[in-house]
Amino acid sequence: MQQSTLPLPVFPDMTFDPLPPAPREHLASPITRAALRIQNALLTGARDFLAAEGFVELLAPVIGPVTDPGARGAKQVDVDYYGHRYKLMTSSILYKQAALTAFDKIFCIAPNVRLEPPETASTGRHLAEFHQLDVEIAGGTRADAMSVAERLVVHAVAWVERTLPGELAVLGRDTDAFAGLPGGPFGQVSHTEAVATLIGLGHPQNPDGEIDWPGERILSDKADRPFFITDYPKGSRGFYDREDPLRPGVLNNFDLILPGGYGEISSGSERESNYARIIARIRETGENPAKYGWYLDLVRAGIPTSAGFGIGVERLTRYVAGLDAVWQAVAFPKLPGLVSP
What are the tens digits of pLDDT across the range 55-85? 999 999 999 999 988 766 789 999 999 999 9
Q: Output the pTM of the full model.
A: 0.93
Q: Is 286 exposed, middle or buried (0-12, 13-18, 19+ CB in 10 A)?
A: exposed
Q: Tell me the C-alpha distance between 186 and 181, whole Å.
A: 8
pLDDT of residue 13: 43
Question: How many domains is the chain partitioned into structurally?
Answer: 1
- CA distances (Å), origin 289, targets 66, 273, 275, 280: 11, 15, 11, 9
As a whole number, mean pLDDT of residues 212-225 equals 94
Residue 9 lies in a domain: no
Q: Tell me the C-alpha distance between 203 and 215, whole Å.
A: 7
Helical packing angle, 275-284 and 293-301, nearest 10°? 150
Q: Tell me the C-alpha distance between 211 and 2, whole Å.
A: 31
Whether the pLDDT of residue 15 is over 90: the answer is no
Whether the pLDDT of residue 2 is over 70: the answer is no
pLDDT of residue 12: 37
Residue 11 lies in a domain: no
16 pLDDT band (50/70/90 cuts)? low
Tell me 263's DSSP state.
Answer: E
Q: Domain span at residue 197? A: 23-339
Residue 209 lies in a domain: yes
Residue 1 lies in a domain: no
Residue 2 lies in a domain: no
Residue 17 lies in a domain: no
Whether the pLDDT of residue 3 is over 70: the answer is no
Whether the pLDDT of residue 296 is over 60: the answer is yes
Residue 311 lies in a domain: yes
What are the pLDDT digits (tens) for 182-206? Answer: 988 999 999 999 999 999 999 999 9
- CA distances (Å), origin 126, targets 63, 112, 153, 241: 21, 12, 20, 23
Q: Is 285 exposed, middle or buried (0-12, 13-18, 19+ CB in 10 A)?
A: exposed
Q: Tell me the C-alpha distance between 153 and 266, whole Å.
A: 10
Any idea what the CATH number is for the domain that residue 194 is in? 3.30.930.10
Whether the pLDDT of residue 10 is over 70: the answer is no
Q: Considering only CA atoms, which of 270, 289, 286 is closest in space to residue 278?
A: 289
Residue 296 lies in a domain: yes
Element (H, E) at 254: strand 253-258
